[in-house]
């Protein structure tokens, strides 16, 4: 009886964690890591390795996108500041130039990541949760 329960548990775990490559591509790196962790705890080494590699690959791709966007936005923010001499709507208050530059850089990062990753991000489940609100 105990061996039958163990066998059923292994079958349930393996059928829940086995996914096609299309399913893997649609999951965020956080979800892939969670599946890998659960496979590890269930001693399902094949799926543990498969999903951990997929999670690391997805995270590396996400980091590359963030680096590209950061370089682009840093360059745009610096060139805008130099060419305009910080002239903006806030010309009456020089102490606000720092905050304006920070806000413009953040806005640039948000736009860039949205363009490169898309609205329905597969990279982070948190970004999907935020869009629900």
Judge whether 63 lies within some domain: yes
Domain carrying residue 76 = 14-124
Judge whether 6 lies within some domain: no
pLDDT digits (tens, 9 = 90+) for 41-71: 999 999 999 999 999 999 999 999 999 999 9
Judge whether 129 lies within some domain: no
Q: What does pTM read for this prediction?
A: 0.62
Distance between CA atoms of 27 and 95, rounded to whole angstroms?
A: 44
Count of structural domains within the chain? 1
Judge whether 5 lies within some domain: no
The answer for 118, left when phi > 0, alpha when psi is -120 to 50, beta otherwise, is left
């Amino acid at each position: 009886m105990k061996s039958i329960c163990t066998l059923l548990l292994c079958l349930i775990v393996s059928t829940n964690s086995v996914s096609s490559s299309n399913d893997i591509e649609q999951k965020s790196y956080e979800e892939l890591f969670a599946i890998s962790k659960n496979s590890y705890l269930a001693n399902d080494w094949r799926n543990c390795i498969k999903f951990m590699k997929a999670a690391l690959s997805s995270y590396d791709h996400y980091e590359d996108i963030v680096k590209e966007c950061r370089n682009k936005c840093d360059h745009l923010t610096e060139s805008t500041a130099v060419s305009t001499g910080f002239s903006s709507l806030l010309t009456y208050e020089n102490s606000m130039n720092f905050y304006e530059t920070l806000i413009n850089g953040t806005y640039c990062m948000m736009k860039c990541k949205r363009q490169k990753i898309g609205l329905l991000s597969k990279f982070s489940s948190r970004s999907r949760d935020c869009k629900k609100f």
